[in-house]
Chains A and B, each alone.
Chain A
Amino acid sequence: MAMFAKDDLKATELTLGLPGCARGNKRALANDTNEEPKSTNNTTPDAKKFSNDDRENAPPTKAQVVGWPPVRSYRKNCFQAKKTNAEAEASGIYVKVSMDGAPYLRKMDLKVYKGYPELLKALEDMFKFKVGQYCERQGYNGSEFVPTYEDKDGDWMLVGDVPWEMFISSCNKLRIMKGSEARGLGCAV
């Protein structure tokens, strides 16, 4: 992940503010090229973990204040995530997606997709590339781009090897590898 402090990349940066607004959040430049998609208080599932999420996600008009309005976190969080089913993890599964060579990361909600074909199509649309043909023995053929993911153990795996449900529950982040690195993974015996 490259660090970007150059002005010429300002146009490609994602911010929380409306177009034309000056950036308000100092921390983003320092350690991460990616910004959360514009979100209000508590819309991302990560927000649940932090007690001071109010401070992190300021809406464009007014900075949120900790503990105001005086509604308990449990109640606040109940209505932010869009619930389409009542499964154990009812809120979205957001993972970072990077592509080798691209200057910035994206974020995707894996819950939105029903399976691999849909996910791969979405990746292709997002990063403007074509993924090759997947087969169990050889991985992806016919393209220099290979979709991979980091699982809960920290290992880099080929997207498509495990059943879909297992994949979305173990995927930490996605990375679209390119070129020689990709070939190494695809030929694993």
Chain B
Amino acid sequence: MSEDDDRSPPSDAAATGITASGSGGSTSVELFPAPYPDQVLENVLENVLCFLTSRRDRSAASLVCKSWYRAEALTRSELFIGNCYAVSPRRTTARFTRVRSVSIKGKPRFADFNLMPHNWGAHFAPWVVAMAKAYPWLEKIYLKRMSVTDEDLVLIAESFPNFKELVLVCCDGFGTTGLAVVANKCRQLRVLDLIESEVMDEDVDWIACFPGSHTCLESLIFDCVDCLVNFEALERLVVRSPSLKKLRLNRYVSIGQLYRLMIRAPQLTHLGTGSFSTSDGMIQGEQEADYASAFAACKSLTCLSGFRETLPELLPAIYPVCANLTSLNFSYANINAEQLKPVICHCHKLQTFWALDSICDEGLQAVAATCKELRELRVFPVDAREDIEGPVSEVGLQAISEGCRKLQSILYFCQRMTNAVVIAMSKNCPDLVVFRLCIMGRHRPDHLTGQPMDEGFGAIVMNCKKLTRLAVSGLLTDRAFSYIGQYGKLVRTLSVAFAGDSDNGLKYMLEGCPKLQKLEIRDSPFGDVALHSGLHHYYNMRFLWMSSCKLTHQGCREVARALPRLVVEVMTRNEVDEEDIVDDEIEILYMYRSLEGPRDDVPKIVQIL
């Protein structure tokens, strides 16, 4: 779905605002036939439109007239589908006939946190079946939060002779069998990236299935594949892949094995180190190779990650590359501030830093002192529970806001926070585009003043004029949402949990944020009245998610009736708890605009109104 639409609801078939890859325009084409267009002009147009790459611009071009619509459809080679249920494979392949690259997104983000039934949907199968027939020249597939099966992967391998790139992010449903077929049959494969996906261990040596001759591999990312790999096969693969630039290993690769791979591939720019530990977790002097020299030999290395089972004594090996690093992912490395400091003090060029809160406020202070170019920071919790003493707090955030003035994106998990520091960050870091603060204790106020966190988040939306993504937490009243509605004019993605007092909270957001595309809410006291206040805007959104709020069947049904192009999915609690069942209350609402109407692959637990 395009993120550019802010039209009013469609009043006729020609209006879009519904999807980037399909529109209601096709109906109007049949009703009002025009004289046959000048073929020369159309050819010229096609040649010009080839240069148009932005989805937004292409959407606009397709609306000029029938001729432009046709030319644009013929020249669009990159397809982006933000919600796999907003448009069908059939409609897509009918309109766009010369596609080389497809991106499809499936489940909403809250599915990552077990809030959605396992078999909810987002199946890739109908897409790959349709594309196998319609796009024989397909080169690239990018999927996020889709259910992909081994059969789907086999179909990819067998249907697209020119296939070059497969990127699966947060996907599941497939295993090493499917990977083996892709590795073996896709002879032009340049990119095989598996990122945060769940891969079933089907006991297949997929690494050994790559063709025995030179491969075109440029990127091989499998750090999320939680099964043993055949190391000898991997080593041979690296040797015969001279174009390999990106390699991210899983935690079953020891540092000794990493060394052997690195000396074969000094041209790497992106490296995921695997376990960064020895095979028995202990250091033995005599078997220690010169790991530092292997790192030193990788002169182009800019992006380092892995460190799945870090032995801190081995960290000095990476000192030689620190000065060149633009991205460092320590988010699996359970290291403390003292272990971090000697590494981070060299990282002057660092722009992206992910870490665990084990580095404490002190570690963050060290980051702030050196990493003046920092654009993105993510701090994850080692211990993701509420009600414990957290190692990071507002102290670390304050240091970052003072030291890293160019910060654009932050994700910060902590146990306590103050409004003062969040306000300070809003002023020190005016370039913030993404601000996601997760105070892990629910309903936690400012721990110094006892006040709600309204003023802090208010300052963020007020002062960070480029903000497009916001996640709020802590004790929040409706006031916080009135600030968001008043100042959050560019906000596209909003994440709300355990916040607000009344329907007004939701109303402020829906009435105040014209660019709102994705709204995900859980456990907040918003009900049917608030839901109705967004009727004017839902066709402009990709989706709305509301779970454990105060919505009823009746309220949702009314929305479904008012907006026929919206698919309104509801899920009721599956366990009936006698004491607190309220008549007609629903557990989960997930609704999205769609050209297709109700999907036919709903599991029993989902009801479409």
Contacts and interface: CB of A to CB of B under 8 A. Distances in A.
Contacts of B254: 86
A70 B438 contact: yes
Give the one of A40, A65, A86 with max B CB within 10 A: A86
B281 interface: yes
B442 A65 contact: yes
Contact of B114 (A59, A67, A85): A67
B110 A88 contact: no
A83 B280 CA distance: 10
A107 to B, nearest CB: 22
A69 B196 CA distance: 18
B224 A73 contact: no
Contact of A70 (B224, B275, B497): B497
Contacts of B137: none
Nearest to A50: B114
B78 interface: no
B334 interface: yes
A18 B381 CA distance: 25
A78 B331 CA distance: 11
Interface in B270-293: 275, 277-281
A62 B387 contact: yes
A69 B384 contact: yes
Nearest to B113: A67
Nearest to B358: A79
Interface of chain B, main secondary structure: loop
Report the interface size class on chain A. Answer: 20 to 34
A64 B388 CA distance: 13
A146 B115 CA distance: 47
B309 A86 contact: yes
Contacts of B228: 88
Contact of A72 (B112, B334, B497): B112
Contacts of A90: 309
B252 interface: yes
Given A59-B387, A79-B383, A69 B279 contact: no
A84 interface: yes
A51 interface: yes
A41 interface: yes
A67 B110 contact: yes
Given A71-B381, A74-B224, A83-B281, A66 B114 contact: yes
Interface in A81-137: 83-86, 88, 90
Contacts of B198: 74
B169 interface: no
B522 to A, nearest CB: 8
Nearest to B383: A79
Given A69-B438, A85-B280, A86-B251, A76 B114 contact: no
Interface string B301-343: 0000000110000000000000000000001101000000000
A107 B97 CA distance: 61
B386 A62 contact: yes
A69 B309 contact: no
Contacts of A143: none
Interface in B217-261: 224, 228, 251-252, 254
Given A67-B113, A72-B112, A86 B252 contact: yes
Contacts of A52: 114
Contacts of B114: 51-52, 54, 66-67, 73
Interface in A34-66: 40-41, 51-52, 54, 59, 61-62, 64-66
Interface residues of B, number: 41
B181 to A, nearest CB: 24
Contacts of B277: 86
Contact of A69 (B281, B334, B381): B381
A132 B82 CA distance: 67
Contacts of B523: 65
A187 to B, nearest CB: 38
A181 B198 CA distance: 45
B214 interface: no
B413 interface: yes
A75 B411 CA distance: 15
B252 A68 contact: no
Contacts of A65: 442, 523
A74 B497 contact: no
B384 A76 contact: yes
A85 B497 CA distance: 38
A85 B252 CA distance: 11
Contacts of A66: 113-115
Contacts of A85: 279-281
A69 B413 contact: yes
Contacts of A72: 112-113, 196
Give the one of A40, A64, A69, A76 with max B CB within 10 A: A69
A149 to B, nearest CB: 25
B380 interface: yes
A68 B280 contact: no
Contacts of B334: 79
A117 B356 CA distance: 39
Contacts of A40: 385
A83 B279 CA distance: 12
Given A69-B386, A71-B380, A86 B442 contact: no
B497 A86 contact: no
Nearest to A76: B384
29 contacts: A40-B385, A51-B114, A54-B114, A59-B385, A61-B387, A62-B387, A64-B386, A66-B114, A66-B115, A67-B110, A67-B114, A68-B386, A68-B442, A68-B497, A69-B381, A69-B384, A70-B110, A71-B380, A72-B113, A72-B196, A75-B331, A75-B380, A75-B384, A76-B384, A85-B279, A86-B275, A86-B280, A88-B252, A90-B309
A-B pairs with the 5 shortest C-beta distances? A67-B113, A71-B384, A69-B440, A51-B114, A85-B281
Interface of B: 110, 112-115, 118, 196, 198, 224, 228, 251-252, 254, 275, 277-281, 308-309, 331-332, 334, 356, 380-387, 413, 438, 440, 442, 497-498, 522-523
